[in-house]
Amino acid sequence: MNIYDLTFEELENYFLDIEEKKYRASQVFKWLYKERVLSFDEMTDLSKELISKLKKDFNINYPLVVKEEHDKDVSKFLFKLNDNEHIESVVMYHDYGISLCVSSQVGCNMKCSFCESGKRGRVRNLLPSEMILQVIQIEKIIKKRISHIVVMGIGEPFDNFDNLVTFIKNANNPKGLEIGARHITVSTCGIVPKIYEFANLSYQVNLAISLHASNDKLRDELMPINKVYKLEELIESIKYYLKKTNRRVTFEYILLKGVNDKKENALELCKLVKDLNCYINLIPYNENSDKKYKKPKNDEIMKFYDIIKKEGINVTVRREFGSNISAACGQLRSKKEE
Ligand code: SAH
């Protein structure tokens, strides 16, 4: 097992189990998360016996970066995992800091009609270590600190719930990556029971919901998950989340030309979310391999934006990052090296 798969508490319990002192967990976490050593031998404040015990029970295997692509404010990294599967992560340089878009699965089972990541189906969940090490590995390469994490890469994070929670704990823990909860965003297509479960954890991380349509008929067509959890149930679960956490949610809404970008769509969207503490993030569609949809023209995007704004709802248009290197939303793939 990779030692990065354990939370701090789990590591404390491990040491208690082997009749060691609990504070060993603090020592080891410092080596892992602050010093970022690549082997147990480098943990110089541990005894030889303890080091060989750790070596027997754990490994520190990093996923390898096998390809990097750079564009103006964005870099994309292709990782090769230990079983030869591949995933991608994307770094975005903002004026407020550096954010990393982390993948949560190899492939994805959600089959949203506009998204490249689901083309292969879910191959497997990523381990917490494979999510954490995307951050650490990339920080080592860019030699800068990542200030924000968005779990918006390949995969549906709520379809890998337990590993996601371990990841969040270790990302947020001051002894871990030490990234503030409010700097972490999880995006889901709307797996309703998991939204309740997440709400009950009362984390202060940001929740984003991929909405993309404001009625069931259209959402059924775009996102198969809507056949399982209808909009009404989804909105109910979000109300519960808001009550429980006192946070604001983000609704992501892709703009697909001629599909969901008309005036009546905007008005229907406003009606759907008007009583919720939320904001809407419009995502101009990023074209990908199947050419099924088109991106609306800029003035059509702004018209849609203006309607929402006029209704008094907070709205932004997502800056288009990385489409030159296929690093934008919906373009990431779990592809083998070409
Ligand atoms: N499975 C999660 C995480 C993926 S996040 C989720 O659905 O939220 C990636 C975001 O990009 C989602 O809002 C997704 O719907 C959106 N997206 C997918 N394909 C896209 C495309 N071609 N253009 C723009 N956004 C896209």
C-beta of residue 191 within 8 angstroms of C-beta of residue 158: yes
Three-state secondary structure call for residue 298: helix
Among candidate residues 252, 270, 256, the one with its CA nearest the CA of residue 318: 252
Residues 6 or more apart whose Cβ sits within 8 Å of residue 61: 2, 82, 129
pLDDT, tens only, 281-312:
999 999 887 788 999 999 999 999 999 999 99
Q: Catalytic residue, from 88, 116, 130, 156: name it.
A: 88
Percentage of the chain with pLDDT > 90?
Answer: 90
Amino acid identity, residue 223?
Answer: M
* Of the listed ranges 245-249, 296-300, 327-331, the one predicted with least confidence: 327-331
Residue 223 in this model has a pLDDT that exceeds 80: yes
Spatial distance between the Cα atoms of 177 and 2, rounded to a whole number of angstroms: 17
Ligand 1 centroid vs 77 CA: distance in angstroms?
Answer: 18
Q: Where are the alpha helices (DSSP H) in the chain?
A: 8-17, 24-29, 48-57, 128-142, 161-172, 192-201, 216-222, 225-228, 231-245, 263-273, 298-310
Q: Counting every residue, how long is the chain?
A: 338
Spatial distance between the Cα atoms of 152 and 131, rounded to a whole number of angstroms: 12
End-to-end CA distance of the chain: 30
Sign, CA torsion 74/169/197/110: positive
Residues 6 or more apart whose Cβ sits within 8 Å of residue 209: 187, 188, 189, 190, 234, 238, 249, 250, 251, 252
Ligand 1 centroid vs 308 CA: distance in angstroms?
Answer: 21
Counting ligand 1 atoms within 8 A of each CB, the residue from 103, 115, 149, 255 with the most, and so the one to mutate, is: 115
Set out the domains of the chain in order of their start, with CATH numbers.
3-57 (1.10.150.530), 64-325 (3.20.20.70)
Residue 335 in this model has a pLDDT that exceeds 80: no
Counting ligand 1 atoms within 8 A of each CB, the residue from 114, 154, 188, 229 with the most, and so the one to mutate, is: 114
pLDDT, tens only, 148-196:
999 999 999 999 999 999 999 999 999 999 999 999 999 999 999 999 9
Neighbours of 98 (CB within 10 A): 18
pLDDT, tens only, 265-274:
999 999 999 9
Residue 334 in this model has a pLDDT that exceeds 80: no
Burial of 232 (0-12, 13-18, 19+ CB in 10 A): exposed
pLDDT, tens only, 125-154:
999 999 999 999 999 999 999 999 999 999
Among candidate residues 310, 206, 316, 313, the one with its CA nearest the CA of residue 255: 316
